[in-house]
Amino acid sequence: MFATLQDRLEATFKRLRGKGRLTDADIDATCREIRIALLEADVALPVVREFIGHVKERARGAEVHQALNPAEQVIKIVHEELIQILGGDTRRLRFAKTPPTVILLCGLQGAGKTTLAGKLGRWLKEQGHQPLLVAADLQRPNAVEQLEIIGQRAGVAVFAPERGSGVGDPVDVARRSVEYAKSKLYDIVIVDTAGRLGVDEEMMRQAADIRDAIQPDEILFVVDAMIGQDAVTTAEAFRDGVGFDGVVLSKLDGDARGGAALSVRYVTGRPVMFASTGEKLEDFDVFHPDRMASRILGMGDVLTLIEAAERAFDEKQAAEVADKLKTEKGFTLEDFLAQMQAVRRMGPLSKILGMLPGLGEVRDQINQIDDRELDRIEAIIRSMTPAERADPKIINGSRRARIAKGSGTTVSDVNLLVERFLEARKVMSQLSQGKGLPGMPGLPGLSGMPGVGGGGRKGKKGKSKKQRAGRSGNPAKRARQESVAASESSDAAAAFRSPLGGSDLPDLLGPSAKAPDGFELPKEIRDLLSKDGQ
């Protein structure tokens, strides 16, 4: 959603980098670009004015002019001001001293209240609570049935004594739900109320009557983040007509410009508490202003990524996999499949990679990642027998044909998966044992291979300048160097096996890759060594 704003801000800050000193003209030009970027993102004008005013005031102060890197100081100021605009500290739910805690959801029709009720219920259940969803939207056709289906998918109980579709009293349903929750020991009640296509007196009166009947501990206003400035107008109307304690942004995964998220907190004075970032029930989390500000500035969101990984990966299983990697052959395709499924539980790959810092320039490539490729990999692995998953090297031609047919893929797809798995397992095993990457300069492994590592720029015949410069002009010393290089290359060639587990690869390293047992110095060098007594 914030892609356009992020691109504009990155382009603006790129012009600042490299300047040792910022003048007032530089600061004015930067603030002008930021103002344009915010207005294009549909941020409310009063918000833009205050934001730019604070940035200018701080950018002209001592913290920038006395800094060693003034450009980074300006970026830091923009980041901190974005956090303040978004709400400062993270706002958590307030729970009642005596259960149940009552949460009332309100908002326009189509904002996603019913789906969000299920998401909130599922999230609270994961936190150890026993939530109850209440179908108090008796206006919209099939709203009760929709909430029952969502509650079943989320594993959360639903209180729905009336079938709705214009029949029943929502105030009475809400009142009875609280008594029902007390009798059944539910500690949280989430009331889904009716919405309208627009703000009207009847809607406000009904929401106010439900509020007075159940005295909720939290009133959450659900707003569609894609409707731009109308979100701010609607939020003001609900604040004045019903009142609410916090805002929930839905559809943050849309392609709108995102101005509502930056405006609604400032205009209403109420914090954004939760954000819905997708259609699935698990696409829901607490809204963190500091993390959102980091995403907008292209700094990534590593903390959210870590939290998602902690939820998706089992700590005991991860420790077992780490032990298996130390032996290389202990890590099987079955383990790989389990780890891949854990990654998928974190969400789409494009979303995961989008949380990493510094990947803004390749956003288009990230967005083109197709998660169906993981489905094909899973299908291939599941078409293998347990023995084949444990030892992929036994997979011969006939087995590959059978696996390809069973998974609906091609033999080349099976070949590619097996080859990549074996290569990756070898590298991970070496890393887990502290041996470093093969061929990397300064690390054990294949550092003796010609044309690999070395750290210098490649020159003629595949060797770096550093390699060619290190060759001695003394014939005797040069002979010893060649002998050592030949020995190292031989060791490297022995370690370099076919990814399919077959015989050694062809002699890619030339004559120098052979073992130096039969190595013999030229006659001229032997004569020179005998004369020097060496």
Instruction: Establish whether 195 is an annotated binding residue.
Output: yes
Instruction: Establish whether 111 is an annotated binding residue.
Output: yes
Placement of tokens 């990534």 in the chain: 300
Look at the pTM and tell me if it is higher than 0.75.
no
- Per-residue confidence (pLDDT) for residue 303, from 0 to 100: 66
Pick left, alpha or beta for residue 251 (phi over 0 → left; psi -120 to 50 → alpha; otherwise beta).
left
**Fold classification of 3-86 (topology level):** Four Helix Bundle (Hemerythrin (Met), subunit A) (1.20.120)
Instruction: Establish whether 192 is an annotated binding residue.
Output: yes
Query: In percent, how much of the chain has pLDDT > 70?
Result: 66
**Fold classification of 101-299 (topology level):** Rossmann fold (3.40.50)
Instruction: Establish whether 353 is an annotated binding residue.
Output: no
Q: Where in the chain is the domain with CATH 1.10.260.30?
A: 307-429
pLDDT in tens, 26-70: 888 888 888 888 887 777 788 888 888 888 888 877 666 665 577
Instruction: Establish whether 110 is an annotated binding residue.
Output: yes
Instruction: Establish whether 196 is an annotated binding residue.
Output: yes
Instruction: Establish whether 527 is an annotated binding residue.
Output: no
Instruction: Establish whether 409 is an annotated binding residue.
Output: no
Q: Is 147 exposed, middle or buried (0-12, 13-18, 19+ CB in 10 A)?
A: buried
- Per-residue confidence (pLDDT) for residue 66, from 0 to 100: 63
Q: What is the CB-side half-sphere exposure of residue 346 using CA atoms within 13 A?
A: 22
Question: CA 364 to CA 53: how far, in whole Å?
Answer: 33
Instruction: Establish whether 251 is an annotated binding residue.
Output: yes
Higher pLDDT, 166 or 137: 137
Instruction: Establish whether 478 is an annotated binding residue.
Output: no
Q: Where in the chain is the domain with CATH 1.20.120.140?
A: 3-86
pLDDT in tens, 381-413: 999 999 998 888 899 989 999 999 999 999 999
Q: Where in the chain is the domain with CATH 3.40.50.300?
A: 101-299
Q: How far apart are the first and last CA of the chain?
A: 74
Instruction: Establish whether 301 is an annotated binding residue.
Output: no
Question: CA 301 to CA 352: how far, in whole Å?
Answer: 9
pLDDT in tens, 191-208: 998 887 666 777 788 888
CA 388: distance to chain centroid? Answer: 32
Instruction: Establish whether 136 is an annotated binding residue.
Output: no
- Per-residue confidence (pLDDT) for residue 302, from 0 to 100: 61
- Per-residue confidence (pLDDT) for residue 47, from 0 to 100: 84
Residue range 307-429 in CATH 2.40.30.40: no
Instruction: Establish whether 250 is an annotated binding residue.
Output: yes
Instruction: Establish whether 327 is an annotated binding residue.
Output: no
CA 17: distance to chain centroid? Answer: 27
For the chain, helix (H) and strand (E) counts, in that order, are: 24, 8
Instruction: Establish whether 109 is an annotated binding residue.
Output: yes
- Cβ contact 396:385 at 8 Å: no
| Short-list 358, 371, 421, CA closest to 395 | 421
pLDDT in tens, 306-316: 666 666 666 67
pLDDT in tens, 440-455: 443 333 333 333 334 4
